[in-house]
């Protein structure tokens, strides 16, 4: 009996503080966007760099490995950056909107998946599967963090990745695919 007497008021306190936390949500989209933008800038450099390596027949564990390391570092940085930002209440009208964030992140995902799509076929990068195995959980984590900081943002990313997800499948980005809802 004493336990229930104690537990009930405690439960209502817990509930109240949860409500307060929700009411305290602010629109942090303006903080989230630069983090996603920075990833996009990295990919707009690395994507073409990878395609150029392919065109010049310079694929190797070393050249592709360098790009994969750069991607890993960029996603790690984004993951840490996003985790520091309070979850956003979001906005569908004030720029950057929720959709702006999802669309930019989709762009990043498209660039990662398509720019790496030629690597396996060449056979010139024997350790590519190991590199993917290292990068995949990092991208998955960052994606899940984005979905927390910008709640539900992966729903639109999923829709925009319906076509390009086939490249992630071929490359073995299984954890990323799961995170994106495939």
Ligand X SMILES: *[C@@H]1O[C@H](CO)[C@@H](O)[C@H](O)[C@H]1NC(C)=O
Distance CA 167, CA 110 (A): 9
Pattern 38-57, ligand X, x by CB under 6 A: --------------------
Distance CA 165, CA 108 (A): 13
Residue, CB closest to ligand X: 152
Please list every residue from 157 through 176 that binds ligand X, using CB under 6 A: 172, 174
What radius of gyration, in Å, describes the C-alpha atoms of the chain?
20
Number of residues that bind ligand X (CB under 6 A): 10
138 binds ligand X (CB under 6 A): no
89 binds ligand X (CB under 6 A): no
Is the Cβ of residue 59 or residue 168 nearer to ligand X in the bound state? 168
CB-based contacts of 58-67 (< 8 A; 24+ apart in sequence): 59/119, 59/122, 59/124, 59/125, 60/124, 60/125, 61/125, 61/126, 61/127, 61/128, 64/119, 64/125, 64/128, 64/131, 65/125, 65/127, 65/131
151 binds ligand X (CB under 6 A): yes
Binder among 50, 154, 157, 161 for ligand X (CB under 6 A): 154
137 binds ligand X (CB under 6 A): no
Interface contacts to ligand X, rule CB under 6 A: 133, 144, 147, 151-152, 154, 172, 174, 179, 181
């Amino acid at each position: 009996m004493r336990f229930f007497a104690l537990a009930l008021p405690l439960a209502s306190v817990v509930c109240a503080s949860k409500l307060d936390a929700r009411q305290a949500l602010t629109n942090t989209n303006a903080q989230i966007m630069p983090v996603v933008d920075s990833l996009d800038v990295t990919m707009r450099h690395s994507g073409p760099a990878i395609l150029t390596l392919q065109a010049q027949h310079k694929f190797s564990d070393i050249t592709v490995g360098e790009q994969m390391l750069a991607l890993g570092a960029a996603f790690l940085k984004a993951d840490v950056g996003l985790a520091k930002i309070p979850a956003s209440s979001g906005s569908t009208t004030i720029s950057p909107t929720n959709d702006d964030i999802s669309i930019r992140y989709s762009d990043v995902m498209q660039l990662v998946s398509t720019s790496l799509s030629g690597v396996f076929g060449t056979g010139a990068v024997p350790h590519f599967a190991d590199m993917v195995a290292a990068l995949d959980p990092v991208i998955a984590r960052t994606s899940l963090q984005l979905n927390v900081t910008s709640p539900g943002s992966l729903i639109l990313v999923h829709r925009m990745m319906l076509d390009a997800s086939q490249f992630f499948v071929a490359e073995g980005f299984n954890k990323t695919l799961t995170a994106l809802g495939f």
